[in-house]
């Protein structure tokens, strides 16, 4: 019985995850190493990877900072009523329930060229939708809960004793933050950062809707994979996808490490 279950589990994991990964890797090298390099050296591929990198950078910075602050406020802010904090707390999770495509649609509806705000920005020469800012906003929306949700439980568990002690001893609140709060949430922040990077690296639906997927302009790595597949350029799609997969696996390994450290402290 026990053997059967173990074999079945191995089978499920192999069919669903391991074999597809191997097929993807062999597919990327289907035309030899030169085919793989050629797929990646295309100008549109390089541009797409650069766009993805930029989005990851901006989104991780913004949502990292604001996510930490929001997490702290939701747990600690005495200047917000309990009710309001509970309400905000449930709103934070909403992007999880929103399909990425709908996330993208929201941005188009609010900031598209036909809207008041969009038209205003267009007039002053600042394109939002079908351009970089819109793609960043869409990714910000999708990844917002990740950091907040990592920081909050640690702060809740920690309690306010140490921070209060520090404050009564006369430490300034920024110093309290750096010397008392920060060391305890550090690993949660690192974990949240890795999650945010992984999610913004792989964001597809929201970005596809907002960007318009314009080659060499607003195309990201994931939307390039999509376009390559639509054009039946399978080897090229596999090549770009393999690069993304390698990054994701690397991030997954980092996550395992961070998780262990997070539990130790």
Under rule CB under 8 A, residue 169 binds another protein: no
Taking the complex as a whole, the smallest distance from the CB of residue 265 to another protein amounts, in Å, to 19
Binding residues for another protein restricted to 107-166, rule: CB under 8 A: 107-110, 112, 137, 140-141, 144
Burial class (CB in 10 A: 0-12, 13-18, 19+), 15: exposed
Which of 64, 104, 118, 192 touches another protein by CB under 8 A?
Answer: 104
Of 58, 92, 131, 158, the one binding another protein (CB under 8 A) is: 92
**How many residues sit close enough to another protein to count as binding (CB under 8 A)?**
79
DSSP-derived secondary structure for the chain: -HHHHHHHHHHHHIIIIIHHHHHHHHHHTTTHHHHHHHHHHSHHHHHHHHHHHHHHHHHHHHHHHHHHHHHHHHHH-TTS-HHHHHHHHHHHTHHHHS-HHHHHHHHHHHHSTTSHHHHHHHHTT---TTSHHHHHHHHHHHHHHHHHHHHHHHHHHH-SHHHHHHHHTT--HHHHIIIIIHHHHHHHHHHHHHHHHHHHHH--HHHHHHH---TTTT--HHHHHHHHHHTT-HHHHHHHHHHHHHHHHHHHHHHHHHHHHHHH-
Smallest separation (angstroms) from another protein to the CB of 43: 20
Among 37, 41, 61, 94, binds another protein (CB under 8 A): 94
Interaction residues for another protein, span 32-91 (CB under 8 A): 66, 69-70, 73, 77, 79, 88, 90-91
Q: Report the nearest approach of another protein to the CB of residue 234 (Å).
A: 7
Question: How near is the Cβ of 10 to another protein at its closest, in Å?
Answer: 7
Among 105, 146, 147, 154, binds another protein (CB under 8 A): 105
Q: Which of residues 203-262 bind another protein (CB under 8 A)?
A: 203-205, 208-209, 221-223, 225-226, 229, 234, 237-238, 241, 244-245, 248-249, 251-253, 255-256
Q: Tell me: does residue 176 bind another protein (CB under 8 A).
A: no
Binders of another protein among 5-24, rule CB under 8 A?
A: 5-6, 8-10, 12-13, 16-21, 23-24
């Amino acid at each position: 019985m026990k053997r059967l279950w173990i074999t079945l589990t191995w089978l499920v994991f192999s069919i669903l995850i391991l074999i597809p990964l191997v097929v993807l890797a062999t597919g990327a090298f289907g035309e030899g190493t030169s085919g793989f390099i050629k797929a990646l050296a295309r100008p549109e591929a390089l541009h797409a990877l650069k766009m993805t990198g930029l989005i990851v950078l901006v989104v991780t910075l913004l949502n990292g900072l604001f996510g930490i602050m929001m997490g702290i406020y939701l747990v600690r802010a005495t200047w917000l009523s309990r009710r309001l904090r509970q309400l905000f707390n449930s709103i934070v999770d909403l992007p999880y329930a929103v399909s990425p495509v709908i996330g993208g649609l929201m941005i188009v509806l609010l900031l598209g060229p036909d809207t008041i705000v969009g038209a205003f920005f267009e007039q002053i020469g600042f394109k939002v939708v079908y351009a970089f800012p819109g793609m960043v906003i869409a990714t910000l929306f999708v990844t917002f809960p990740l950091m907040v949700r990592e920081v909050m439980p640690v702060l809740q568990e920690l309690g306010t004793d140490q921070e209060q002690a520090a404050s009564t001893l006369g430490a300034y609140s920024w110093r309290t933050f750096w010397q008392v709060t920060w060391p305890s949430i550090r690993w949660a922040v690192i974990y949240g950062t890795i999650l945010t990077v992984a999610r913004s690296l792989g964001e597809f639906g929201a970005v596809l809707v907002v960007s318009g997927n314009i080659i060499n302009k607003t195309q990201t790595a994931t939307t390039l994979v999509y376009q390559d597949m639509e054009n039946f350029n399978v080897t090229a799609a596999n090549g770009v996808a393999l690069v993304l997969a390698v990054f994701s696996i690397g991030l997954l390994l980092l996550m395992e490490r961070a998780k262990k450290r997070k539990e130790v402290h």
